[in-house]
Chain A
Amino acid sequence: MTPTALWKRLLILAVCLWGVFAALPNAFYSRVEGHNDAAVAIEKAGGVATPDQDAALGTWPAFLPSALMPLGLDLRGGAHLLAKVEVEDVYKARIDGLWPEVRDALRDLRDQVGAVRRAPSPDDELRVTVSNPEGMVAAVQAVQALATPVYTLTGVGAADIEVTAEGADIVVRLSEAERAASDDRTVQQSLEIIRNRVDEVGTREPTILRQGSDRILIQVPGIGSASELKTLIGTTAKLTFNPVVKTTTNAGADAGARNALLPARNETGLYYIVEETPVVTGEELVDAQPSFDQNGQPAVSFRFDGAGARKFGDYTAANIGAPFAIVLDDEVISAPVIQSHIPGGNGIITGSFTVEESTELAILLRAGALPASLTFLEERTIGPELGADSVAAGKLAAVIGMIAVAVYMVASYGLFGVFANIALAVNMLILIALLSTIGATLTLPGIAGIVLTVGMAVDANVLIFERIREELRAGLSPPKAVEAGFARALSAIIDSNVTGLLTALIMFFIGSGPVRGFAVTMSLGILTSMFTAVYVTRLVVELWLNARRPKTIVV
């Protein structure tokens, strides 16, 4: 048979060696993981290592590859959440922000439109009643003039608001383009803030991805439960400091214009009426840390930025003796009375917290408030023990499966079966090496994909061997028969693998979760098995033929 070119032989050998090399770390999973974690921690600390970290770093030699197959949630345990960002939440603030502008614009036209007043309306529109409807056309024009163009990737020019006249009312709504732009911003901001919060907790390799227009997928390995994760990321954490008008025990009390009735967090039945416009907000915080108040109770200390500190200082100076509400997500945490002017912008929030609550609140305040609330559409928690059980079961099945297939191949094809098994072993190594290098997450269906690859990988060899048998029966000499067997089987191998690859790719693009994990291992398995079954087996058979030069062969 035509000998394989030297460069080709070297290339095949190099790929095989790379497979062994890059798959190696997975054989020492926990050691390498310790090494990698230490390396990351040291880098975060700016190159300073604790003795423990140095020891962990030393368990794995630096010259060896250290990429591992990351384990999916079903194997490692952890929490998975799919959250929907309630993008409409933001519209109300936008609409409220428009009202002063609209009022001022209409005030200039007072002689045409008469008096104006804001009428009750849904959250996403602004409704203004004018007392003199004859001036409506001018009024609409004046309000429309407030619009600014929205810049989007697809085009420029759409105005951010739509103004219409309905009877004596001017109705202002956000335009389609503005809503789309606003939704996009909201989701992007939420994503960033969720990432900050999860990073603050410091778990390994969280996955935080945007999905579709208004959804965020969050996967955090190693976290105890989805509800734990949910309290961390599901809290809006909108902190404001509002002047208190008065307290009441009546849940239905009328708060009055521009005021809000808010419940107290720690005392049921107690309500505060506060001014709706805050003095300062959480956005003006630069730091928040868990601490203790003078009585030793857990508390959160915070610091304002320059502008916040000035506003806070001015307000406290002007309102000594008045109560001041600290509001978190529409609940009054506490309402201390201002004792003195507080310059410098430092403060402390007390409110009968537990230590955990104060730690969590500090994290939330540092990471910033979510622009909109989240609704959870899907949540999954997998305990670490279940994951470990699955890993053990998957490993066992993969090993036994490989042995069973190997025995069967030798029984069916003798020495050629051994050749196929060499190719199969190399195939497994390259597959693991590939998965580690590209960092494809291994899931339980992924393990099934690998086991299936074991079964199907030998198909190419079976095709070749059956073909060689036929050619031998047809009377070809051993080298000729082997050559013809490889050449003629190739068309079938390629057709069958391409169709397999096609379905795997479709699974990857359309599927989600388990389907994807399976698709990744299956498609990589198809590629590696084509390489090993065709090239590696051929090289091994060729070397054997050249060394032995048999007169007859039995496949």
Chain B
Amino acid sequence: MAWRLKLVPTKTNIDFFRWQFVTFGASVVAVVASLVLVAVMGLNLGIDFRGGTTIRTESSQPVDVGAYRQALAALNLGDVSITEVKDPTFRADQHVAQVRLGAREGEEAVTPEVIAQVETALKAVDPAISFPAVESVGPKVSQELIWKAFLAVAAGSVGILFYVWMRFEWQFAVGTVAALLHDVIVTVGVFAALQIKFDLAIVAALLTILGYSVNDTVVIFDRLRENLAKYKTMPLREMMNLTANETLSRTIMTATTTFIALLVLFIFGGDVIRGFVFAMLFGVVIGTYSTLYVAKNIVLMLGVDRGDKPKKDTGEFASIEA
């Protein structure tokens, strides 16, 4: 037999429900903790959602945050934050900082004068400075963007709920959506805990997590449906374990390839999309976890009506000749 890299042995017999109260409890705690974190600490909202201006500075001189702050303090701009951006992909003489100005009370539009003032003040501190990116979002647009982002996640969940309901049974749909909401909420919670910038791109990442998590869950449910038709008398709990073990190799394999691809992007993709990629990396891990420990538990709790045969046995697509 040829050598194969195997992360999962050929035959596994893991009882995924053995610690079900611990694992499910942990998930419930994580969701509640995330909600509390978001409520208490709040998210580090980017200008997309909060309004304001960010200016990215780049210079061959090292960044002196103190000097920058002093230079800008004279301008009386209100809420100003300056952070140095460090990244392994930068060249040795590439020093980057991010200046963030809060949205100004009662201003719908952004004022170019303010940006010009900031640029002049920073140029005085460091003549070699340049401004490779300047972004401003007015408070009105940012309000709408928040609403749209929320709507996107909600619409995504509802769409998935209906699709899974249509293809499987309602219990599966509830389990799937519970699992993916768990993933999204905990990811947002991690963003609150670590205070990573939360902007529009992160919402795209959340939606991808949604898609990934569902993908994973649906594959197991698909197999479960097949097994339900095959073993009519096996208890549901046992059958779920059988199914999860049968598909475990695939679950881990896909999670690993996706994780590898994302990890490479995380390391080499530059600082601009690092937060975005971080969200997705985290999402792959939690999506895999929730597939094994959340979605099935909910289906088990709700029970599956096995009186009549499952609506569709192996799925109508299986008979199509490929």
Contacts and interface: CB of A to CB of B under 8 A. Distances in A.
A63 to B, nearest CB: 35
B271 to A, nearest CB: 9
Contacts of A225: 134
Nearest to A74: B272
A420 to B, nearest CB: 10
A554 B317 contact: no
A488 B151 CA distance: 36
B268 A396 contact: yes
Contact of B269 (A375, A376, A377, A393): A393
B112 A230 contact: yes
B265 A382 contact: no
Interface stretch (B16-24, B25-33, B159-167): B159-167
Interface band, chain A: 35 or more
A220 interface: no
Contacts of A473: 10
A491 interface: yes
B318 A487 contact: yes
A512 B146 CA distance: 12
Contacts of A393: 89, 268-270
A394 B261 CA distance: 12
B207 interface: yes
A511 B148 CA distance: 7
B214 A510 contact: no
B272 A522 contact: no
A492 B223 contact: yes
B254 A462 contact: yes
B268 A378 contact: no
B174 interface: no
Contacts of A491: 222, 314-315, 317-318
A463 B110 contact: no
A452 B250 contact: no
A245 to B, nearest CB: 33
B85 to A, nearest CB: 12
B109 A455 contact: no
Given A499-B215, A513-B200, A518-B204, A451 B264 contact: yes
Given A386-B56, A490-B320, A451 B141 contact: no
Of the candidates A230, A375, A499, the one having the most CB atoms from chain B within 10 angstroms of its own CB is A499
Interface stretch (A36-44, A146-154, A201-209, A400-408): A400-408
Contact of B208 (A82, A490, A503, A510): A503
Of the candidates B135, B136, B208, the one having the most CB atoms from chain A within 10 angstroms of its own CB is B208
Of the candidates B221, B265, B315, the one having the most CB atoms from chain A within 10 angstroms of its own CB is B265
Given A397-B269, A452-B258, A502-B159, A512 B133 contact: no
Interface in A466-499: 466, 469-470, 473, 486-488, 490-492, 494-499
A146 to B, nearest CB: 36
A462 B253 contact: yes
Contacts of B110: 376-379
Contacts of A378: 110, 136-138, 141
Interface in B48-66: 56, 58
A390 interface: yes
Contacts of A486: 322
A554 B130 CA distance: 58
A389 interface: yes
Given A486-B322, A495-B222, A496-B214, A512 B163 contact: no
Contacts of A413: 4
> Helix, strand, loop or mixed for chain B's interface?
helix
B212 interface: yes
Contacts of B112: 226-227, 230
Interface string A495-524: 111111011101100111111001100100
A76 interface: no
Contact of B214 (A82, A402, A503): A503
A451 B158 CA distance: 27
A494 B317 contact: yes
A401 B280 CA distance: 15
Interface string B263-293: 0110111101100110010000000000000
B72 interface: no
Nearest to B320: A490
B196 to A, nearest CB: 16
Of the candidates B156, B167, B261, B273, the one having the most CB atoms from chain A within 10 angstroms of its own CB is B261
Interface in B222-243: 222-223, 226
B108 A382 contact: no
A490 B269 contact: no
A385 interface: yes
Interface string B192-225: 0000000011011001101110111011011100
Contact of B4 (A394, A400, A411, A488): A411
A455 B2 CA distance: 25
Contacts of A519: 204
Given A405-B257, A456-B212, A459-B215, A515 B133 contact: no
A380 B250 contact: no
B136 A380 contact: yes
A379 B110 CA distance: 8
B156 A408 contact: no
Nearest to B261: A455
Contact of A397 (B115, B152, B264): B264
A500 B269 CA distance: 24
Nearest to A375: B109
Given A380-B136, A408-B256, A495-B218, A401 B265 contact: yes
A378 to B, nearest CB: 5
Contacts of B45: none
A490 B320 CA distance: 9
Given A408-B256, A463-B250, A515 B215 contact: no
A514 B280 CA distance: 15
Contacts of A518: 201, 204, 208
Given A452-B262, A456-B258, A490-B320, A502 B201 contact: no
A58 interface: no
A380 to B, nearest CB: 4
A119 B28 CA distance: 67
Of the candidates B6, B141, B221, the one having the most CB atoms from chain A within 10 angstroms of its own CB is B141
B94 to A, nearest CB: 9
Interface string A512-555: 11110011001000000000001100100000000000000010
Given A459-B215, A491-B222, A504-B211, A401 B137 contact: no
B156 A506 contact: yes
B201 A514 contact: yes
B322 A405 contact: no
A372 to B, nearest CB: 14
A510 B151 contact: yes
A487 B249 CA distance: 19
Nearest to A462: B253
A458 interface: yes
B269 A394 contact: yes
A376 B259 CA distance: 40
B1 interface: yes
A401 B5 contact: no
A540 to B, nearest CB: 14
B132 interface: yes
A462 B265 contact: no
Contacts of B10: 469, 473
Given A411-B5, A506-B207, A512-B200, 20 more contacts: A74-B272, A375-B109, A377-B108, A377-B110, A381-B133, A383-B130, A393-B269, A393-B270, A397-B264, A401-B264, A408-B257, A412-B253, A445-B201, A445-B276, A451-B262, A462-B253, A495-B221, A503-B210, A506-B159, A554-B4
5 contacts: A2-B321, A378-B137, A405-B261, A495-B222, A499-B164
5 smallest A-B Cβ distances: which pairs? A455-B261, A491-B315, A455-B258, A383-B132, A393-B270
